[in-house]
Amino acid sequence: MTERVAIFIDGSNLYHALRGNFNRYDLNFAEFARKLCGQRQLFRVYYYNVLQEESQYPDGHREQQEFLEALHQMPYLEVRLGSTKLAQGVPVEKGVDIMLATDLLHFAWAGLYDTAILVSGDGDFAYALQTVKNVGKHVEVAHFENNISKSLLEIADQWQLLNRAFFTGLWIGNRSRRKKNRRKAKMVNPPVVNG
């Protein structure tokens, strides 16, 4: 029997970790998913992030729409978008973590995957991962060394360190083009606080 894998990507967490670790954002998501999945069968990739407000971040909104359109072209990838609300003048992420946790649990209970791979270091997902394990599924965490909750590592059956070696061959552009587009890329995910 072929092992079915579902990948759940915390988009904001991934974006900020890529930015902090490599100063790059031009990840080929199809190849990234393929590498995480290995020889197993991919059920689906779910990407979660906030939708940028056009009125507050017009350039960021436009760039994000282009990015999301590219994601929509990837087979077996679903995009789930939360929103932001201002709290004392600071944008706060709303709805993203709960969407990811709900899908993680619902699809486990429905028997749609055998293994869940969470791409996040956010410890808020620890209880949801434990519940998925309790249902009889395997859980893996793909994380960056400096961005991981100890509780996720303790719960995960396996983990994948997302380091420079892992990302070799997974970038879309070259470094010179990336530098030119750095300002635009920063606008796609302005600083947001998890709410």
- Give me the pLDDT at residue 191, please: 40
Res 174: pLDDT? 65
19: helix, strand or coil: helix
Strands (E), 4-76: 4-10, 41-50
CA distance linking residue 66 with residue 163, whole number of Å = 27
Residues 186 and 63: their CA atoms lie apart, in Å, by 10
For residue 53, what pLDDT is reported?
74
Give the relative orientation of helices 96-109 and 126-134 as an angle to the nearest 10 degrees: 0
The rounded average pLDDT for each run of 10 residues, N- to C-terminus, in the chain (195 residues) is: 93 88 88 95 95 75 79 90 78 85 98 98 96 98 93 96 94 60 42 42
Quick one: pLDDT at residue 88?
76
142: left (phi over 0), alpha (psi -120 to 50) or beta: beta
- Note the pLDDT of residue 175: 54
**What's the pTM value of the predicted model, to 2 decimals?**
0.84
Greatest extent of the chain over all pairs of C-alpha atoms, in Å: 53
Q: Please, what are the domains in the chain?
A: 4-194 (3.40.50.1010)
Per-residue pLDDT at 133: 97
pLDDT recorded at residue 180: 47
